[in-house]
Structure 1
Amino acid sequence: MTNYSSPDLTQQPPRSPRVRLGGFAILPRVIDKCRAVLAGTNGDYNYACALDQHFFTFTKIDPEAMKAEIAAGKGDGEILAWVMENLGRDLSLPDILAWSAYHQSRSPDNPTYRAKFNKMHETLAPDRTDIVTSFDMLDLDDYVSFGGKA
């Protein structure tokens, strides 16, 4: 059973980057990774990694300030309220939804990332033609890493 207040990312992956909180894609995954880092159960997952930085850059939220809020034991709804109160810029719900839709449909956009993506695709599921976005690859990698069959 998943314990969202202190996920053990050595036993299961964080939430999919597709899962949204307050319209924000990536945010629930960021929260899961932070909670796991705080608990020492993050395994191969890192808080404030390159994917997380897309969220922090968009919202202008300081990762260390958010980590302190999560360390205080706040639930997802409380973290969302804190995020909305501490945005470093004005964002409307349509802005948030457009940003999330963009990231959900985003594919590798440079040769280095494209090569890494293609190598992972070839290794994990060479016959799958539905793996086209970065989120597709993250979900597949999470699934296979914990024993799923591609």
Structure 2
Amino acid sequence: MNAPNLTQRPPRSPRVRLGGYTILPRLLDKARAVIAGTAGEYKYNNPNDGHFFRFTGITPDALLAQVNTGSGDWDMLLWVNEYAPLKHTTLEIEQWSNWTETVAFHDLEMREWFTDQIKRLNPAREDLRGTFDYLDLDDYVSFGGIA
């Protein structure tokens, strides 16, 4: 298995798509790193990952077991499409993926946490709105970038 070392570089952006699915490539990177013991600070099956699991009906354990077979991205996509309990059309996947790119923190506690994180990264940034914006910026800064 060619697992990324997430102590040296971040997983792919949650915006990157595989078969139309956002989140999936990042999820695969984290799963491979967890199996290889190179996940660092990254968590598999976090709340953002949960969007994918709820949409497809695949369990985190099932995906992790399939990743553990050494399957590449294409084979993982074929597996997702075949074994996902919740089947979706290409249009539904596209609409869901478009929605995930706009998800923001809605409850008060998470909005406060998000605000604190933006202050930590760069308090002047007014362009950051949602989860994916935060993840991309945090990944960038965590590996030496300047926000």
Shorter chain as denominator, the TM-score bin is over 0.9
Decide which moves more: 102-111 or 37-46: 102-111
Amino acid at match of 1:72: T
> How big is each residue's C-alpha offset from its partner over 1:28-56, in whole Å with a ceiling of 9 and x where there is no partner?
00000000000000001111111111100
Q: 2:105 aligns with which of 102, 105, 108?
A: 108
Q: 2:13 aligns with which of 16, 19, 22?
A: 16
TM-score, normalised via structure 2 length: 0.97
User: How many angstroms does 1:125 deviate by?
Assistant: 1.1
Q: Does 1:139 align with 2:136?
A: yes
Amino acid at match of 1:67: L
TM-score, normalised via structure 1 length: 0.95
Residue 98 of structure 2: SS of its match in structure 1?
helix
User: How many angstroms does 1:90 deviate by?
Assistant: 2.4
Q: Does 1:42 align with 2:39?
A: yes
Contiguous gaps of at least 5 residues in structure 2 = none
Q: Which residue of 2 aligns with 1:118?
A: 115
Q: 1:74 aligns with which of 71, 74, 77?
A: 71
Q: Which residue of 1 aligns with 2:126?
A: 129
C-alpha RMSD over aligned residues: 1.1
Equivalent pairs counted in the alignment come to 147
Q: Which residue of 2 aligns with 1:56?
A: 53
Amino acid at match of 1:116: W
Question: Which stretches of structure 1, 4 residues or more, deviate above 3 A after TM superposition?
Answer: none
Sequence identity, in percent?
Answer: 48
User: How many angstroms does 1:89 deviate by?
Assistant: 1.6
Residue 8 of structure 1: SS of its match in structure 2?
coil
Q: Does 1:65 align with 2:62?
A: yes
> How big is each residue's C-alpha offset from its partner over 1:44-82, in whole Å with a ceiling of 9 and x where there is no partner?
111111111110011000211111111111000000000
C-alpha separation in 2, matches of 1:47 and 1:93: 26
C-alpha separation in 2, matches of 1:86 and 1:148: 39
